């Protein structure tokens, strides 16, 4: 497959003047974060970027960041394990719950219903009230990052032991303000524990700086995933197994895939052989380092 002008090799990096500039005034800080988001918007509109997979990967990073914020030890591998082998009725544990919340909020276009599904202990009416209250200029007129910072402040003040809820709602507010259909986890990637206790203009400036750092990571992830997705598409014609096309599409939309998820291949044995073949071809990686209960991803 040829990607022409949208080739992953041409995925533009963040301009160095955005990441290296020293912002001395609030206006400078706001300008740089706006430039970063504008660049990200261009990247997200490229055909070669696997959008669903990018959101999945950033959701994992956001959940990992939330673990750090609350002082827990779980990292990416633990989070993948917490949800990767769940059976009906299983509980994923506290870390898995946070990861599932991020997964659910990115799966579908952002709405109060989707946010309630991600944060079921919050009433839809409360979520809607917060969304409206954090837009002081009314119905989508407030600047995106100040609106997101206001959401972060009000939710964290009410739920100081639940930074994930505050960050999820802040990123949802940001997505709505930017006109994005889906939440893209960003603020969790750039904020530190002490940042959540800030308020007013101090928090507003901190969120602007966090966005620049988070967008830089998001673009690096987009470039990496674009290359890996292109490799998988290149080897796909060599895969003769019945149901291979559906299996490939699953890898292009999920951060981690267990062989048992590849139901289109007909059997667990066939799925394991398929995964091993993809590893041999350099199209996917085994993510756990284990001999059993393996997970794979591009």
Same structural domain for residues 244 and 215? no
Q: How far does CA 141 lie from the centroid of its chain?
A: 25
End-of-domain residue from the set 224, 254, 279: 224
Local structure of residue 59 (DSSP, 8 states) = H
pLDDT confidence bin for 4, thresholds 50/70/90 = very low
Q: What is the pLDDT of residues 46-63, one digit of tens each?
A: 999 999 999 999 999 999
- Domain span at residue 65 reads 23-224
Same structural domain for residues 103 and 55? yes
What pTM does this model have? 0.93
Same structural domain for residues 162 and 114? yes
CATH at residue 244: 1.10.10
> pLDDT at position 136, please?
56
Same structural domain for residues 209 and 244? no
> pLDDT at position 9, please?
54
Same structural domain for residues 272 and 161? no
Task: Determine how many CB atoms are found less than 10 A away from the CB of residue 128.
Answer: 14
- How many structural domains does the chain have? 2
Q: What is the pLDDT of residues 115-130, one digit of tens each?
A: 999 999 999 999 999 9
For 8-12, 143-147, 156-160, 250-254, which range has the lowest pLDDT when averaged over its residues? 8-12
End-of-domain residue from the set 197, 224, 251: 224
pLDDT confidence bin for 10, thresholds 50/70/90 = low
> pLDDT at position 137, please?
53
Q: Angle of helix 93-107 relative to helix 163-178, nearest 10 degrees? A: 10
Residue with tokens 């001999």: 291
> pLDDT at position 292, please?
95
Q: What whole-number distance in Å separates Cα of residue 295 and Cα of residue 66?
A: 22
Same structural domain for residues 172 and 202? yes
Separation in Å, CA 179 to CA 102, 110, 145, 183, 244 = 19, 10, 13, 10, 35
Same structural domain for residues 266 and 149? no
Percent residues over pLDDT 70 in the chain: 94
End-of-domain residue from the set 190, 224, 258: 224
Per-residue burial over 266-286, b = 16 or more CB atoms within 10 Å of its CB, e = otherwise: eeeebbbebbebbeeeebbee
């Amino acid at each position: 497959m040829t990607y022409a002008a949208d080739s992953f090799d041409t995925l533009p990096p963040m301009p160095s003047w955005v990441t290296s500039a020293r912002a001395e005034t609030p206006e400078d800080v706001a300008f740089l974060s706006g430039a970063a988001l504008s660049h990200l918007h261009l990247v997200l509109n490229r055909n070669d970027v696997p959008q669903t997979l990018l959101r999945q990967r950033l959701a994992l990073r956001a959940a990992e960041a939330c673990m750090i914020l609350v002082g827990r030890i779980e990292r990416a591998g633990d989070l993948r394990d917490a949800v990767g082998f769940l059976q009906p009725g299983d509980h994923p544990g506290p870390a898995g719950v946070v990861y599932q919340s991020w997964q659910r909020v990115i799966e579908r276009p952002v709405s109060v219903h989707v946010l309630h599904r991600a944060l079921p202990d919050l009433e839809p009416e409360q979520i809607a009230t917060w969304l409206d209250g954090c837009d002081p200029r009314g119905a989508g007129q407030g600047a995106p990052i100040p609106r997101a910072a206001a959401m972060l402040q009000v939710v964290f003040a009410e739920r100081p032991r639940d930074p994930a809820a505050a960050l999820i709602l802040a990123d949802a507010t940001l997505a709505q303000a930017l006109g994005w259909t889906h939440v893209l986890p960003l603020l969790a990637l750039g904020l530190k524990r002490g940042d959540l206790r800030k308020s007013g203009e101090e928090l507003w400036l901190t969120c602007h700086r966090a966005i620049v750092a988070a967008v830089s990571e998001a673009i690096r992830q987009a470039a990496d995933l674009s290359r890996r997705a292109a490799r998988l598409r290149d080897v796909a014609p060599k895969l003769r197994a019945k149901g291979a096309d559906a299996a490939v599409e699953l890898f292009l939309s999920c951060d981690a895939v267990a062989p048992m998820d590849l139901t289109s291949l007909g059997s667990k044995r066939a799925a394991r052989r398929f995964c091993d073949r993809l590893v041999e071809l350099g199209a996917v990686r085994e993510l756990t380092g284990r001999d059993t209960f393996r997970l794979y991803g591009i």
